Amino acid sequence: MAMEIKETDFQKGVKHLSENGASKLPDKYILPVSDRPNVHKEKPDVSKSSLRLPVIDFGVLQGPNRSRVLDSLSCACEEYGFFQVVNHGVPVEVIRRMNDVSSRFFGLPYEERAKYMSSDMTSPVRYGTSLNQIKDSVFCWRDFLKLVCTPLSDVLPHWPSTPMDFREVAATYAKETKWLFLRITEAILESLGLWDATATTPEDDEIMKQFNEGSQLMVVNCFPPCPEPDLTLGMPPHSDYGFLTLLLQDQVRGLQIQHKGKWITVEPNADSFVVNVGDHLEIFSNGRYKSVQHRVFVNPEKPRLSVASLHSLAFNSMVGPSPKLIDERNPRRYKDTDFATFLEYISSCEPKKKNFLESRKLT
């Protein structure tokens, strides 16, 4: 039997709606026709509508063929803004435990999840729905748990205490993804000509120290089965704030990236990470590497879970183009920015207008 949707139910999130048998999409979630995904209307030609991202073999990156892999990495960042990392060194057990504990968290009764609901965007732990449930006029079909990860010892006591192993599992996962981020960042800097793995200078050490002491934010996303998936999205088109995002996704398709003017579905690859260039890396590279718009469509039958680990410099750091990448032929293309500017921007606008990067470009 279809439940009667009350205004307060929107604030409780889509997991709550799904658990209570919502059989039609409430008006609050219905996108204007021009913004709808249309991925379920007909069976598309999968070969044309889906994409295997460029694959970076982390094991080979650490070996004698590093320069060849760096070339592939550079091409991926320039052309797609996305790549997939395999043989990454993060233990499979750590990944599977993170998936498992995330699933169990979203399986808790609503009252338990609601303990972490907050509209404070600076809170060390925050459970919510859509993107900004205070400002959004149309909600997206997503619930999330955001965890600030830096400094870990300070924020850990605020993280959920149920399931009982949540803090221990999530903290281990955060440390492992931070380690992987630092290794990928070294490769990114080397591909830009800003780092030499064989002969690091004090200047190189200083920039890596800044990333080592930088920010990390984990977002665990839950996309329950959706009764009318062609009318809504799990996440609207957006680019990621930060330097790099490491995404762990399950085997249910949902992530799409904008490539050559079309929305292309990224095929899941078990136990690998999808890594994407964030706004900060596009700014830092002075536009050479691209922070690409992406979105998430939802499934009529299957739930989908993902864990995004967003990394950058410290929240109070200013990010601007690297001086080494600016010259007469390649003039400065972006203003400096910081986290406070970003928070102010996203707090003040609708999700479909949330293209923060455009506001940083110098005309």
Task: Please check whether residue 271 lies inside any domain of the structure.
Answer: yes
CATH of the domain at 52: 2.60.120.330
For Cα atoms 168, 174, 175, give the angle at the middle one, nearest 5 degrees. Answer: 90
Task: Please check whether residue 22 lies inside any domain of the structure.
Answer: no
Q: Which contiguous run of DSSP H or E holds residue 211?
A: helix 202-212
Task: Please check whether residue 4 lies inside any domain of the structure.
Answer: no
Q: How far apart are CA 246 and CA 188, in angstroms?
A: 14
Task: Please check whether residue 320 lies inside any domain of the structure.
Answer: yes
Task: Please check whether residue 12 lies inside any domain of the structure.
Answer: no
Q: How far apart are CA 257 and CA 263, in angstroms?
A: 6
DSSP letters along 19-54, please? HTT--S--GGGPPPGGG---SSSS---HHHHEE-PP
Dihedral angle computed from the Cα positions of residues 41, 43, 45 and 51, in that order, rounded to the nearest 10 degrees: 70
Side-chain-side CA neighbours of residue 168 (13 Å): 5
pLDDT of residue 353: 46
Structural domain count, the chain? 1
pLDDT of residue 226: 95
Q: Are 235 and 131 in contact (CB under 8 A)?
A: yes
pLDDT of residue 223: 98
**Helices within 42-165 (DSSP H only):** 46-49, 58-61, 66-79, 92-106, 110-113, 152-155
Q: Per the structure block, which two tokens stand in for 312?
A: 């950058």
Q: Per the structure block, which two tokens stand in for 328?
A: 């007469």
Task: Please check whether residue 268 lies inside any domain of the structure.
Answer: yes
Q: Which of 98, 70, 109 is closest to 187 using CA atoms? A: 70
Task: Please check whether residue 5 lies inside any domain of the structure.
Answer: no
DSSP letters along 234-254, please? SEEEE--SSSEEEEEE-SS--
CA distances from 145 to 13, 15, 67, 248 (A): 12, 12, 38, 15
Query: What is the extent of the structural domain holding 70?
Result: 45-360
Ordered per-residue pLDDT tens for the chain, 363 residues: 445 555 556 678 899 899 888 889 989 999 999 999 987 765 544 445 788 899 999 999 989 999 999 999 999 999 999 999 999 999 999 999 999 999 999 999 999 999 999 878 788 999 998 766 667 788 999 999 999 999 999 999 999 999 999 999 999 999 999 999 999 999 999 999 998 877 777 777 888 999 999 999 999 999 999 999 999 999 999 999 899 999 999 999 999 999 999 999 999 998 899 999 999 999 999 999 999 999 999 999 999 999 999 999 998 899 999 999 999 999 999 999 987 788 777 777 654 444 788 888 987
The pTM (predicted TM-score) of the whole model is: 0.92
pLDDT of residue 266: 94
Task: Please check whether residue 329 lies inside any domain of the structure.
Answer: yes
Q: Which of 192, 204, 306 is closest to 249 using CA atoms? A: 306
pLDDT of residue 243: 96
